[in-house]
Amino acid sequence: MIPQNFDYATPESLEEAFRLLSDPNAKVLAGGQSLIPMMRLRLAAPETLVDLRGVPGLGGIRLEGRTLRVGAMVTHYELESSPLVRKSCPLLAEAAANIGDVQVRNCGTIGGSLAHADPAADYPASLHALEASVRIASPSGERTVSIADFLVDTFTTALEPGELVVEVSVPVEAEGAGVSYQKCVQPASGFAIVGVAARIVKKDGEIAFARIGVTGLSGNAFRATGVEKLLEGTRGDASDIGRAVAGIGDGVDANNDIHASAAYRQHLARVYAARAIVAAVSRAK
């Protein structure tokens, strides 16, 4: 790897990090799984890398009431293997386990992934289904935005200059809920050609609550509220699911590249949505 020359800073507090990041040519380094490859190709050439690994308070996973709080610097591997996450928010653990490969999961972080906002990233499908929120800090204070507001577009987030993702919050999964994340893997990169996350709560044999998140289909991940509405109140059998997912990509400007045409992605979105919902329904008690 022969990137352009850069300085490397390891702040030991958020304040120090903010000060370093006030330089417009500085760039945050979290797990480096997207930034470093771009620097290798010189598509990115920051003058200073501000490595957040030494900043206290950005790691750790903790339960606060009915909310699971995940620090921005928590790695995919930590999420995938954490007994707490697996128990209280299994969808997040499942999404993390589907990312890239072991090396990527050992280095990559949830905060870094979100701030990068790759349209084929795995987390957004689950975070939409979980109606997650993202805590953002800046020298002037903090704010919390919903995942829907945070992910603005392809590689574009609600982060303003000088702001950092510090935490992702998801609700503790409802008792008896069934969840699943199903993904069509791009065989070279390991990213999602299409990935669909489903959360299902049943009551008296009917779907009482459905949340569906979709990634990879278009320039930005989204929550498929139309599908959710069609599922709720049904028994969740094959025909219900087929009807519900039929319009999952309606009005969506599907991505079209060498790995999948727009039409195939639209089709895969229906297939993988159905698979995720079937799995979630079968897991729901």
Partner 1 sequence: MATTTITKTGTLVGKRLKRKEDPRLITGTATYTDDIQLPGMNYASILRSPYAAAKIRGIDISKALEHPGVVAVYTGADVKDVGPVPCGASLPGLRVPHHHILAQDRTYFVGHPVAVVVAADRYIARDALDLVEVDWDPLPAVADPEKAIEAGAPAVHPEWPDNIAFNFHQENGEVDKVFAEAEVVVKQRIISQRLIPCPMETRGVVADYRGGDKTLTIYSSSQIPHLMRNLVAQMLGIADNHLRVVAPEVGGGFGSKLNVYAEEALMGFIAMKTGKPVKWIETRRENFLTTIHGRGHVDYFELAAKKDGTILAMKLKLIQDLGSYHQLLTPAIPTLSVLMMPGIYNFKHIRADIVGVFTNCVPTDAYRGAGRPEATHGIERMVDVLAAELNMDPAEIRLKNFVPNDAFPYATATGLTYDSGNYAAPLHKALEIVDYKSLRAEQKKARAEGRLMGVGISTYGEICAMGPSPATPAGGWESASVRIEPSGKVTVMTGIKPQGQGEETTFSQIVADELGVEMDDVTVLHGDTMVVQYGIGTFGSRATAIGGTALYFALQELKKKVKKFGAMILESDDVSFSGGQCICNRTGRTADLSQIAGASYRAMKLPPDTDPGLVATNFWEPPNFTFPFGAHICVTEVDRDTGAVEIKRYVAVDDCGRIINPMIVEGQVQGGVVQGLGQALYEHGIYDESGQLVTGEFMDYAIPKATMVPWIETDHTVTPSPVNPLGVKGVGEAGTIGASPSIVNSVVDALSPLGVRHLDMPLTPESLWKILEGARA
x/- letters, 12..51, toward partner 1 (CB under 8 A): -------------------------x---x----------
How many residues at the interface with partner 1, by CB under 8 A? 19
Among 4, 13, 22, 144, contact with partner 1 (rule: CB under 8 A) = 4
Within residues 204-223, the interface with partner 1 by CB under 8 A covers none
Residue 196 buriedness (CB in 10 A; 0-12 / 13-18 / 19+): buried
For position 262 contacting partner 1 by CB under 8 A, the verdict is no
CA 112, CA 263: separation in Å to the nearest integer? 31
Give the number of other Cβ atoms within 10 Å of residue 195's Cβ. Answer: 31
Instruction: Give the residue with the Cβ less far from partner 1, 144 or 261.
Output: 261
* Structure tokens belonging to residue 246: 């039929």
Q: Long-range contacts of range 243-246, CB-CB < 8 Å, 24 or more positions apart?
A: 244/277, 245/269, 245/270, 245/273, 245/274, 245/277, 246/270
The yes or no reply on residue 239 touching partner 1 (CB under 8 A) is no
Residue 101 contacts partner 1 per CB under 8 A: yes
In the structure encoding, which two tokens stand for residue 201, read together? 């709560």
Cα gap 70→111, rounded to integer Å: 9
The neighbour count for residue 97, using CB atoms within 10 Å, is 16
If binding is defined by CB under 8 A, does position 242 make contact with partner 1? no
Q: Smallest distance from the beta carbon of 186 to partner 1, in angstroms?
A: 8
- Count the residues in the chain: 285
Q: Among residues 188, 204, 205, 285, which is the contact residue for partner 1, using CB under 8 A?
A: 188
Q: Which stretch binds partner 1 (CB under 8 A): 65-73, 75-83, 165-173, 180-188?
A: 180-188
Q: Residue 189, interface with partner 1 (CB under 8 A)?
A: yes
Strand order across the beta sheet in which 61-64 lies: 61-64, 67-71, 164-171, 133-138, 141-146
154 touches partner 1 by CB under 8 A: no
Minimum CB distance to partner 1 smaller for 152 or for 263: 263
Contacting residues for 147 by C-beta, under 8 A, at least 6 apart: 124, 127, 128, 130, 131, 132, 133, 134
Interface residue with partner 1, options 227, 248, 252, 268 (CB under 8 A): 268
Nearer to partner 1, 147 or 184 (CB): 184
Binding site for partner 1 (CB under 8 A): 2, 4-5, 37, 41, 101, 184, 186-189, 258-261, 264, 267-268, 271
